Structure 1
Amino acid sequence: MNENKKPDLKVSILAPNFCKGGIVRAYLLGKVFQKLNYDVEILGFLFGENVYPEAPHDLSVFYLEGCNYPEFFGASKKLLNKIKGDIVCAVKPKPTSYGVALMDKIFHHRPLILDIDDWELSWYGGDEWQYRPNFKQLARDVLKQEGALRNPEHPLYIKWMESSIKHADAVVAHTQFLLNRFGGNYLPNGKDTDLFDPDKYDPQISRENNGLSDYRVLMFPGAPRPHKGLEDVLMALDLLNEPDLRLVIVGGNPYDNYDEKLKERWGKWIITLPPQSVEEMPSVVSAAHVVVVPSRDTAIAWAQFPLKLTDGMAMAKPILATRVGDIPTILNDTGYLINPSSPEEIAENIQLIFQDLEAANHRGKMARERCIKYYSLNTMATTVSQIVSSL
């Protein structure tokens, strides 16, 4: 792409929350559209104290403070007036993104792409979830100041959004599970493999800068959640009981206190690093000896394409991951695959990796080659270009 060429068109990407909750995917899509010479703006709401992670410096962002109904109607109107794109791309089928995009489609008739990076209803029990209140409960949920239905994230609204997916002009999803459920085009989570380039970073310097020089580092560059299987890694460290092994968690958990519960039980094995910007993350990942992606066998995990998987692949790290969802297909023999919820297998493979770290690092180099071929921004841009052409 000619960097000096005037952008062809403008795309407005609607993120549901500038504090996690899809913002990383929005940044990634922004980079993809820039590859296609689009002018990009990312808009949405901030439900939280701070934007996390911070936006790449070359992406334009605008957000409003998140709020509940009925104030959310007015906030949505303000956001609608800020949308300037020729195309609108909504991340996640949520009222805070796709709901606003559907209103824009009604009023301004702009083409709408829906990006699905998770099965949102799976967090509430999936197809088993029902909302069947009696009259009094419904009145409380609607009328009380803290009523459940005042929250735009209520699963009832998510269910409505999922039933409205057919109104998007194009749908993209990043796992086979999501494609089977919602249809659309396959657009997995890629990585900026020029930014995430191991030759640009010195692992030893990164370990020194982050206080990790004395340790063999198992890194999880994401938010701890029960379905992500970090408890299994920590139980494996208990089994091994080798004093220089550490699980390094980058960024912590902005959703609840789950990471604090992990520290209460396994604090001696855990080191936490503060939140990192997109540009800072490659340097931090370079400090890892091994990247761990120990997802458990749940519907939530099956629906997700773990971003930390391509973090590790792009940085040519040995990857220890479970046979859950698309993970085996993504790695395709370039990592160490184990069964989910198996601390014993994790322990065995940690020993295997460190017994022959040279062989493990060779697998990491193969993983980077695979990431460049199948999960780079260029590969994503080819798919997106075809989708936009078909609108």
Structure 2
Amino acid sequence: MKVSLVVSDLSGGGAIRAFLLGQVIRKLNYEVEVVGFQFGQELYGIPPQGIPVVSIPGQQYPQFVKSIQTLLPKIDGDIIYAVKLKPSSFGVSLLKKWFTGRPLLLDMDDWELSWYGGDQWSYQPGSLRQVYRDLFKPQGKLRFPDDPLYVKWTERWVSLADQITIDTEFLKQRFGGVYLPNGKDTDLFDPGRFDPDSSRQRYGLQGYKVLMFPGAPRPHKGVEDVLMALDYLNQDDYRLVIVGGSPYDDYDDRLIQQWGRWIIQIPRSPVETMPEIVAAAHVVVVPQRDTLTAKAQFPLKLTDGMAMGKPLLSTRVGDIPEIIGDTGYLVDPGSPEQIAETLTKIFDHFGEAQAKGWQARQRCIENYSIDSMAIILEEVINKLR
């Protein structure tokens, strides 16, 4: 059996969840492919080995219709698995389902409308002239395939999916579906395979207290709160290591401009290299802020730290307290002072913090491993037969 994972934008964050699902599907001994549009210059993430990726250049309407026509024949799996509730993934997947009768799964790891204000958002052009501009001008907003207006329409079609997978309680309450966490390959992410001091030396981090954020900073992810905490502490041996960076805008540059003293940036790396990088961390920080977008997410960085047995510092937002339980350190969102106090506590009692990290790894193996995800997904797929 072959599963086609359909991604709205391979140059955006949805590719990471698709690659994870691809690893789970391979664990079930199914053939898998990742198929999707690419609106940016390069892939957002580097695919795991053995997972083929087929990308079609994304365009605005009306040219996007031709892009759809090009993509549809590439979706040749026995099961269609749309990643994200967007017109360019779920909408296109519905077309394939209607044409072929193949079963359709929908995966959601975000509430897409949360990026625009949630249920309060509405399209208010103000005049027919503005509607014309939005539809026909070169930069007209309604020419973009995943404009929030189209996303809002697409939400009405959720019931047309044969099965739904979600990764947070927020999404379950809103859309239903089967809980499928943002897990980790705990065999690949095995701290026993790496020496932290050697990793720190390799990446130029020796001599520092390494706080690591292994992902793309965005305002709702709270990286600024960690940097403000480092200003409070004002200790020269602290560094925040950001792995990769934001492909969306110049947010990274703005962080560096204001807080460059504390930041070390490591280039985006393939998943096979990430365990060695995370091994260099003393503490993994996931300081989500209290926003709609954050509440709907299961931060993948949590399981990066948990799988590698690292002390984990995060915030009381969404499912995070339930995910890490008592195996990490929690502070209130948007509280640099609490972050600073907790960092001091961690490094003053680092043996205790390391013990919590080991407990976090055991929790990750039991609840958030590729193996545990595979058990859940196999049950979902069996219901399609």
For residue 219 of structure 1, report the CA deviation from its aligned partner. Answer: 0.3
Question: Does 1:33 pair with 2:18?
Answer: no
Aligned to 2:47: 55
Question: Does 1:15 pair with 2:4?
Answer: no
Aligned-partner Cα distance in 2 for 1:279–1:18: 19
- What TM-score do you get using the length of structure 2 for normalisation? 0.98
Aligned-partner Cα distance in 2 for 1:35–1:213: 37
Select 2:56's aligned residue among 51, 57, 64. 64
Select 1:157's aligned residue among 145, 150, 154. 150
Aligned to 2:234: 241
For residue 318 of structure 1, report the CA deviation from its aligned partner. Answer: 0.1
- What TM-score do you get using the length of structure 1 for normalisation? 0.97
Aligned-partner Cα distance in 2 for 1:301–1:146: 29
Question: Does 1:371 pair with 2:364?
Answer: yes
For residue 288 of structure 1, report the CA deviation from its aligned partner. Answer: 0.4
For residue 112 of structure 1, report the CA deviation from its aligned partner. Answer: 0.4
Aligned-partner Cα distance in 1 for 2:346–2:138: 54
Structure 1 gaps, min length 5:
1-8
Aligned to 2:178: 185
Aligned to 1:274: 267
SS at match of 2:217: coil
Question: Does 1:118 pair with 2:140?
Answer: no
Aligned identity (percent) is 57
Question: Does 1:362 pair with 2:339?
Answer: no
Letter in 2 for 1:40: V
Aligned to 1:219: 212
Aligned-partner Cα distance in 1 for 2:37–2:282: 37
Aligned to 2:135: 142
Aligned to 1:46: 38
Aligned-partner Cα distance in 1 for 2:269–2:192: 20
Equivalence map 1:167-316=2 (5 Å): 167-316=160-309
2:13·2:44 contact (CA, 8 Å) conserved in 1?
Answer: no
Equivalence map 1:59-138=2 (5 Å): 59-133=51-125, 134-138=127-131
Relative to structure 2, which stretch is displaced further, 316-325 or 127-136?
127-136
For residue 139 of structure 1, report the CA deviation from its aligned partner. Answer: 0.9
For residue 283 of structure 1, report the CA deviation from its aligned partner. Answer: 0.9
Aligned-partner Cα distance in 1 for 2:230–2:13: 30
Aligned-partner Cα distance in 2 for 1:219–1:44: 31
Question: Does 1:347 pair with 2:340?
Answer: yes
For residue 36 of structure 1, report the CA deviation from its aligned partner. Answer: 1.0
Aligned-partner Cα distance in 2 for 1:242–1:360: 20
Aligned to 1:6: none
Structure 1 runs of 4+ with >6 Å offset: none
Aligned to 2:159: 166
Relative to structure 2, which stretch is displaced further, 226-235 or 307-316?
226-235
For residue 17 of structure 1, report the CA deviation from its aligned partner. Answer: 1.4
Aligned-partner Cα distance in 2 for 1:277–1:350: 29
SS at match of 1:268: coil
2:6·2:34 contact (CA, 8 Å) conserved in 1?
Answer: yes
For residue 172 of structure 1, report the CA deviation from its aligned partner. Answer: 0.8
2:104·2:163 contact (CA, 8 Å) conserved in 1?
Answer: yes
SS at match of 2:261: helix
Aligned-partner Cα distance in 1 for 2:311–2:13: 27
2:87·2:151 contact (CA, 8 Å) conserved in 1?
Answer: yes
Relative to structure 2, which stretch is displaced further, 134-143 or 106-115?
134-143
1:258-279 CA-partner distances (Å, limit 9, x unpaired): 1211112111011111111111
1:65-109 CA-partner distances (Å, limit 9, x unpaired): 111111111111111111111100000011221111010011011
Letter in 1 for 2:43: V
Aligned-partner Cα distance in 2 for 1:232–1:82: 44
1:273-321 CA-partner distances (Å, limit 9, x unpaired): 1111111111111110000011111111000000000000000000000
Aligned-partner Cα distance in 2 for 1:192–1:66: 31
Letter in 1 for 2:27: K
1:2-40 CA-partner distances (Å, limit 9, x unpaired): xxxxxxx10000111112321010011111111111000
For residue 209 of structure 1, report the CA deviation from its aligned partner. Answer: 1.3
For residue 52 of structure 1, report the CA deviation from its aligned partner. Answer: 2.5
Aligned-partner Cα distance in 2 for 1:112–1:68: 25
SS at match of 1:277: coil
For residue 203 of structure 1, report the CA deviation from its aligned partner. Answer: 1.2
